[in-house]
Amino acid sequence: MEGSILKLYPQFTQLTDRRQQGQPVNSERRSGEDRRQTERVVDPKLSPDIAKIQDTFKAFIHNADQHKTTVKTLDNTALENKEVTKAVFSALSPIIPFRRISSMPDNIENGDYERAAGLVAVAGIMLPEDLRDMKDAWEQAVHNKLPNYDYKNCQAPFRFIRGTYAEAPVNKMGKYGYILHEFDKSFAETQLGEKLRKLLGVSFGKPEMTGRKVPQVINIDNKYVVEEIPVIANKLRGTFLSKLIYRAIQRTTVIGAIILSTLWIPSIIKAFNKPEEMKDKLTNAGKQTLKASINVVSVLSGIGILGALGNIRYKYVGSVIGMGIGSIVGSFIANKVNKNISTL
C-alpha cells in the first residue's frame, strides 16, 4: 500500500531518500534581502490599474505642492500688506484721528477686536476737538497765526470732554454732568500730580487767558446751568526739564487713561481663560495686565512729553507733530518690552 502511494507521489520518495542519506534539502525560500532585490512578477491584468493609481497620486502630490506654493505666496503677501498698513498708520500719526487708531493693525492681528473697536469709538468722540487742533495747526502753518498768550511758558490743562461729541450730552445731565466735569481733570491736577509738581520744583505765575471759551455745566446756588467758561492757561516757573515733565502730565487726562486701560480688559480676560490650572491663569492674567500697563504708560508718556516739547517751540504745529511722533515712539518701546513678557 505504501509503495503504491510513493509511486503516485515520487517527490516524497526523493525527499525521504535525502533525509535518510543526511543530505540537505534545497528550499526555494529566499532571504529577506534576496526577496527585496528580486523583481516580482506582476499580473499583466493589474498593470493598467496600478499605473492609474500611480498617476492619481502623482497628480494629487503635484496639486498639493501647487497649493502649498500658493498659500506661502499669500502668506508673504499678507505679511507685506500688514507691514505696509502699519507703516501707513505710523506715517499718518501727525493727523490726530489716525494717531488715536495707530495701534489698530496690531490689535486686529492679535485678535483684540474689542480694543480696536474701542479705539475707533474714542477717535469718533474726540473728532471735533481733534479737528479744531488740526485747524489751529493749519492756520499757523499757512497764515502764521499764533495765540495771543505766552504759550512758551503757559499751558491749559487738557480735558477729555471739552470740545468733543461728549460735551453737549454731559452738559444736559445737570448735577451728574457737573460731577463728570469735576472728575475730568489732567493728572497734573490730582493729588499725585501736585506732589510731583512740588518734587520737580515747578511753581505757578499769573495765569493767562487763552481766548477760548467752552460751554460747561456749573453749580450756582445749587442750580446747575450751562455757561461759557474761559479756558485758562497756567503760567509755569522752573527749569526747562521740570516744566517739560509737568506740561506732559498736564496733557494726560484721567478719563482718557482710564478708558485706554479699560480697553485692555478683554485681553486680560482672554489671557486668564487660556490655561487650565488656576496658578497659570493668575500668572497669565498678571503678565497681560503688566503688558497693558506698559503700553498705556509708554504711549501716554510719549505723546505727553514730545507733544509738550513741540508745543513749547512751535505751538500748534509742534504739538500735533510731537504727539504723533510720541505715539510712535511710545508704541515702539511698549512692543519691544512686551515681547519679552510671554503668556501661555
Tens-digit pLDDT profile for residues 313-325: 889 999 999 999 9
Residue 167 CB contacts under 8 Å (≥ 6 apart), including other chains: 161, 214, 215
pLDDT the model gives residue 190: 95
Greater confidence (340 vs 249) lies with: 249
Residue 217 has pLDDT above 90, yes or no: yes
pLDDT higher than 60, residue 11: no
**pLDDT over threshold 80, residue 164:** yes
Per-residue pLDDT of 121-150, as tens digits, reads 999 999 999 999 999 999 999 999 988 899
Strands 203-204, 208-220: pairing is unpaired
pLDDT at 6: 46
- Mean local confidence (pLDDT), 25-37: 50
Answer whether residue 297 is part of any domain. Answer: yes
Asked if residue 44 is part of any domain, the answer here is no
| Locus of grid cell 527749569 | 239
Q: What's the whole-model pTM score?
A: 0.72
pLDDT of residue 78: 47
**% residues pLDDT > 70 (the chain):** 76
Of the listed ranges 77-81, 106-110, 325-329, the least confidently predicted one is: 77-81
* 11 within some domain: no
Mean pLDDT, rounded, of the chain? 82
The answer to the question of residue 290 being in a domain is: yes
497659570: which residue's cell? 280
Q: How confident is the model at residue 76 (pLDDT cuts 50, 70, 90)?
A: low
* Domain enclosing residue 313, as ranges: 92-338
Identify whether 83 is part of a domain. Answer: no
Is 5 domain-assigned?
Answer: no
Looking at the domain assignment, is residue 85 inside a domain? Answer: no
Band of pLDDT at residue 10, cut at 50, 70 and 90: low
Please give the tally of structural domains in the chain: 1
> What is the pLDDT averaged over residues 52-66?
59
Check residue 276 and give its pLDDT.
76
Has residue 94 got a pLDDT over 90? no
**1 domain residue, yes or no:** no
